[in-house]
Amino acid sequence: MNTMRFRAKYVSASKDGDYYQVAFENTDPAGDVSDVNGPDSPYLLIQRQFEDPDGGRCYVETHDEAYIGHFRLRSIEFSSSRLLLKIARDRNNRIEVIST
């Protein structure tokens, strides 16, 4: 079981119709400043749409290509300081984000 771990400073959420998104990142999503952490700065993006049948899958995107794709989620543990996402697959199936 592989786990990707990183710390995030910012959390943002958005909704557009039947599409929902939450992002964990180190760059302020409301800021106009260029990304001082560079293009490889750790991030997690989770998207879910309810417009069309999709088998209950979420789109997951991270700075690590091994964790990008459409997946069913086994579980989500969420607290004020941590998110643990478990993806329904054999490898690269856990993402842990800790707030800073």
User: Where do the structural domains in the chain lie, given as residue ranges?
Assistant: 3-29+37-99
Task: Identify how many contiguous H helices and E strands the chain contains and give both numbers.
Answer: 0, 9
Q: What is the mean pLDDT of the chain?
A: 89
Say what the pTM is.
Answer: 0.84
DSSP letter at 40?
T
The string of pLDDT tens digits covering residues 16-34 is: 999 999 999 988 877 655 5
Give the confidence band of 66 by pLDDT, cuts at 50, 70, 90: very high
Q: What's the pLDDT band for 1 if we cut at 50, 70, 90?
A: low
Min mean pLDDT across 38-47, 52-61, 65-74, 91-100 is at 38-47
Radius of gyration in angstroms for the set of CA atoms belonging to the chain, rounded to a whole number = 14
What does the alpha-carbon distance between residue 25 and residue 12 come to, in Å, rounded to a whole number? Answer: 9
Distance CA 43, CA 50 (A): 24
Structure tokens at 37: 């952490």
- Give me the mean pLDDT over the 56-70 stretch: 95
For residue 68, is pLDDT > 60? Answer: yes
Q: How far apart are the first and last CA of the chain?
A: 25
Residue type, 37: N
76, 98, 99 from 82: Cα distances, Å: 10, 5, 6
pLDDT reported for residue 36: 52
